Structure 1
Amino acid sequence: MRSYSSKIEGIRQREYGYLNGVTYLDHAGCTLYPTTLMHKFAQDLSSNLFGNPHSASPSSMLSSDRVETVRSRVLKFFNASPEHFDLVFVANATAGIKMVMDAFRDIEDGYWYGYHRDSHTSLVGVREHSKASRCFATDDQVEDWIASTSTAEEDSTMKLFAYPAQSNMNGRRSPLKWCGQVRKNKPNTYTLLDAAAYLTTGSLDLSNPQDAPDFTCMSFYKIFGFPDLGALIVRKSSADILTKRKYFGGGTVKMVLSIDTAWHSKRQEVHESLEDGTLPFHNIVALGHAMDVYAELYGTPKQVSAHASGLAKVAYERLLNLRYSNGAPVCEIYKDERASYNDSTTQGPTVAFNIRQPDGSWVGKSKVEEAAIKNNIHIRSGGVCNPGGVASFLQWDSVGMKKNFDAGMTCGDKNDLMGPGGKPTGIVRISLGAMSSMGDVEKFVHFVEQTYVYGGEMIGNIQPIAKLKSEMQPLTSDVPSRVEEKRRMLKNIFRNMTGRNYVSA
């Protein structure tokens, strides 16, 4: 498998001109769209008339044909046979999760819900309609549950187990084998896989329907950068549970009576019965072009994974090895003990961390992001919509979290340090993608080193990290000389070691 890493600078210059002067490290939030994709999409819309797919006109039929062609292509992208799987277009991964929840919510006897600690907030929210739920705090708890047999497990209550293929907090990748194991060992239990963060660089193979999730949700903007569209891939033999959903929208029914009798008949195909209203057909047209350009630029998801994972390994190791002059580590990195940056099946290209000061105290997450913003570095900070992962790694229990809330903390705020000793309330996250480069890694590590180890500001022109310690450049254009810069650095080192200001003779 040939890597495209040697060609990445040329790809960036041709396709991502808007990255000039920018270091983008938030691919777990949204990866970037190439210029060629936007041009091809615009040309297609300029040359063809696409109508509402619910009509029979030529423009409508063109839209319908494109939609079904793209549907088939997406299934093929994941090696999902149309014999065993169907694909439902939705707004995003969260909409796919909610669609599954709506069906389980409408089960007359209710349902039990289990979810992994690393779940995104959107997965956690499914518990609110369940009659009972459990959060699995560790992998061992999940595996013990899968292996267990009890009277309670053998009852007729419908059950749903959900987990992320990759933590959107720290990039840890969960075992995909759980889905098949649940099917074999847990009666009346369905699996929901949140593949959104994973598919930014991961490769998902659904060729074996016996081991595949019953429901897999995703967001295409995380894979291709554009369009803003999602999907729910449904295992056909598990689709009956989705018929429990009571709501129906336009286009999903064969007949509706509305005046003196409340009756309707739903369409039979899985996607036809679930795609409420008019599909975002222009976005689906764009998705076809996105898949074309992705293949032209990067080849396959496995090639993207190899490229991004290699960069993440370098970023992790360099951040891990950063030290203050007193030997104290600069970064506290939150890596799962079962994960390794040498193994892309256990770890995605994400690094989650916080920064400490030389005395071990913390630098607030929002302060780090603000400093990064000043230097045109795009990262993510906060709770990152992963309450279980953040609470576990930062060692916050429920009592402490509620106290923080009562004291004014909410998601997305700047209450960085709270509680006894000033503990972090969130994390700093960098994440790599298909179009990331070694320059992005070098720029960020250099930023951390300059801003925190040496206490300065960011340098305008980045150099390879190996040269930084031997040849420091002026931090800003108005710094008069390298001598003065080194004097300032020595003062900072002295202050870090002694806690006192250095006074020259």
Structure 2
Amino acid sequence: MARTTDGNPERLAYNDRVDRLRRKEYRMLKGTTYLDHAGTTLPATSLVTQFSHSLQTLLLANPHSASASAPNTSHRIVEETRLKVLKLFNASPEHFDIVFVANATAGIKLVLEAFSGHDEGFDYYYHRNAHTSLVGVREHAASSHCFASDAEVEQWLQDEHSFSGDANTDRPTLFAYPAQSNMNGRRLPLSWPAALRSTSQRLRTYSLLDVAALVSTSPLDLSDHAAAPDFTVMSFYKMFGFPNLGALIVRKSAAHVFDQRRYFGGGTTEMITCIGTQWVAKKEKRLTDRLEDGTGATHSILALHCAIDVHDMLYGGFSEISKHTGWLAKTLYERLASLKHANGRPVCQIYKDPAATYGDALTQGATVTFNISSSDGAWISSWKVGQLASSKNIHIRTGSLCNPAGMACALGLSSSDVQRAYASGFRCGQEADIREGIPFGMVRASFGAMSTLEDVSIFAKFVQDHFVGKGLLNVDDNDEKRVKSEEMRRSEQSSTPSFEKPGLRLRPVRQQFWAKFGACIPFRSRRPDVVSAH
């Protein structure tokens, strides 16, 4: 497929700059098309070099030790990095605290621990686009509800008794949602926390925003603390590729919620008695001192310190990254949407949310999620698409994408459909992901700062060459041999346990157990012959 342009010289010039940068900073991409930045982006060579140099020149001791100057160095780096992160999101340290955690999921669990400590428990509301890490909070709630649409959220914001179920006004309430769907890249309104806070009826209702997917390619502005979420979680490896570290940003006006957190560990206490009377005096001066259990991840925080500096040096901020990746996603979306079989059937069913528009940074991120159907209208296994792509050195994500309600709504799956598939032996990541003619997985391509137009062209050509106007599997003899050879190589090299049966080796992707959830209103038909890309 020949390189095409949208007539935007500014975007093409930036793309050429990224292409030059990529050859120098991301040598691991030579001969590879990487389209799983929503999973993790990639670290620059300069980041690894700077971090290595810092490790060799700085003595980082345990900050809890005070016998030498080294702990002071560790403490200084940690505090400098806190300020760097807050500055990155325009969050004033006067109004926000930042707690370092392992990842966004760990930040969510920290908030959960606080709400679980309330004597009456808590009520929980979450959006259907929530990642499984947000969904899991419901298991500790006294009552919970999954909003099946934005309209339900808006109705609830206007009437606190909507969808209340077993909710109790004496209990605190937590409302959680993602700033961007990790499934299809749809960006949700950032105005909901402010709307939640605007009524006196919501004094004990708090907001938790998962920005992990959003901030991988987009700036986040928390300068208006009155409109900001109470709790914001993120994973830095999605932004910089390294380190594996996350953060929980807390509005100081909501910090009292953590007074109910019961667990303590490491240096979060002042004094403890164990024998006889059991008593503890927890640290109270700073929220971070109370919540960062154990010895802090000093080396990872140093790596984050380096990552922010290097990323800014290479890209100059996330605004241009957002424009670039949004342009790439729009280009891929248009190319895939234009593919037709000879009989006129669309090749790709693209799961773009009706509220989103490619090219509009307010509503759509740098992700294109879809399924492929053959010329006779039958769905093609997303697992098989992923395997064939892997044999061509193309990295994509397939499966349920850790977004159960979002996937079910997009595919038109009811709760009974999901439970029946599970009972029949289906698990996420298995080859047989077409059940009774219905797909139970998707293909996701996502872009990052170092993605280029060539990635778009290679992947679009891959889909065109292998799935347009051909049969169900559309894998020729050579392709079949390459796929089997790749599977055999992985089988020999990997000691990871996997499910096996004669003639089948499952791809070693993360297994997901389907948790039950309320039926969502589907906005997609199950049959590919009656739908097309919006």
Regarding TM over 0.5, the answer is yes
Cα distance in 2 between the residues matched to 1:215 and 1:149: 20
Which of 90, 110, 127 pairs up with 1:116?
Answer: 127
Contact 1:450 1:457 in 2 (8 A): no
- Provide the secondary structure at the position in 1 that maps to 2:198: helix
Which of 466, 470, 476 pairs up with 1:451?
Answer: 466
Aligned ranges 1:298-317 → 2 under 5 Å = 298-317=315-334
* 2:264 aligned with 1:248: yes
- Aligned-pair CA distance for 1:457: 6.7
- Aligned-pair CA distance for 1:154: 8.5
- Aligned-pair CA distance for 1:407: 0.4
Aligned ranges 1:389-428 → 2 under 5 Å = 389-419=406-436, 422-428=437-443
Query: Which of structure 1's runs of 4+ aligned residues deviate more than 6 A?
Result: 151-154
* 2:62 aligned with 1:48: no
Cα distance in 2 between the residues matched to 1:149 and 1:127: 19
- Provide the secondary structure at the position in 2 that maps to 1:251: helix
- Aligned-pair CA distance for 1:326: 1.2
Which of 127, 142, 157 pairs up with 1:146?
Answer: 157
Which of 20, 36, 46 pairs up with 1:26?
Answer: 36
The one-letter amino acid of 1:133's match is S
The one-letter amino acid of 2:135's match is V
Aligned to 1:198: 214
1:441-488 alpha-carbon deviations (Å, 9 max, x no partner): 000000000011165779x9xxxxxxxxxxxxxxxxxxxxxxxxxxxx
- Provide the secondary structure at the position in 2 that maps to 1:114: strand
Change (3 A) 1:150 1:365: closer
Cα distance in 2 between the residues matched to 1:344 and 1:18: 29
Contact 1:114 1:133 in 2 (8 A): yes
Contact 2:342 2:469 in 1 (8 A): no
The one-letter amino acid of 2:192's match is W
Cα distance in 2 between the residues matched to 1:87 and 1:149: 30
Aligned to 1:14: 24
Contact 2:185 2:368 in 1 (8 A): yes
Cα distance in 1 between the residues matched to 2:324 and 2:115: 39
Aligned to 2:452: 437
Cα distance in 2 between the residues matched to 1:320 and 1:366: 21
Cα distance in 2 between the residues matched to 1:184 and 1:190: 12
**Which of the two has higher C-alpha Rg?**
1
- Provide the secondary structure at the position in 2 that maps to 1:360: coil
Structure 2 length normalisation: TM-score?
0.84
1:231-259 alpha-carbon deviations (Å, 9 max, x no partner): 00000000101121100011111111122
- Provide the secondary structure at the position in 2 that maps to 1:211: coil
Cα distance in 2 between the residues matched to 1:429 and 1:194: 20
Cα distance in 2 between the residues matched to 1:110 and 1:127: 11
Cα distance in 2 between the residues matched to 1:241 and 1:413: 41
Cα distance in 2 between the residues matched to 1:143 and 1:90: 32
Cα distance in 2 between the residues matched to 1:450 and 1:120: 33
The one-letter amino acid of 1:10's match is R
Contact 1:55 1:61 in 2 (8 A): no
Aligned to 1:39: 49
- Aligned-pair CA distance for 1:155: 2.2
- Provide the secondary structure at the position in 2 that maps to 1:55: coil
- Aligned-pair CA distance for 1:412: 2.5
Cα distance in 2 between the residues matched to 1:415 and 1:234: 43
- Provide the secondary structure at the position in 2 that maps to 1:203: coil
Cα distance in 2 between the residues matched to 1:69 and 1:88: 13
- Provide the secondary structure at the position in 2 that maps to 1:176: coil
- Provide the secondary structure at the position in 1 that maps to 2:363: coil
Cα distance in 1 between the residues matched to 2:40 and 2:96: 26
- Aligned-pair CA distance for 1:161: 0.2
Structure 1 length normalisation: TM-score?
0.88
1:303-345 alpha-carbon deviations (Å, 9 max, x no partner): 1100100000000000000111111111000010000002111
Structure 1: gaps of 5 or more residues = 461-505
- Provide the secondary structure at the position in 2 that maps to 1:231: strand
Cα distance in 2 between the residues matched to 1:246 and 1:416: 43
1:237-284 alpha-carbon deviations (Å, 9 max, x no partner): 001011211000111111111222211111121111000001110010
Aligned to 1:295: 312
Aligned to 1:229: 245
Contact 1:224 1:294 in 2 (8 A): yes
* 2:283 aligned with 1:267: yes
Aligned ranges 1:40-119 → 2 under 5 Å = 40-56=50-66, 57-119=68-130
Aligned to 1:184: 198
Contact 2:37 2:238 in 1 (8 A): yes
Change (3 A) 1:25 1:92: same
Cα distance in 2 between the residues matched to 1:243 and 1:413: 44
Structure 2: gaps of 5 or more residues = 1-9, 479-534
Percent identity over paired residues: 50
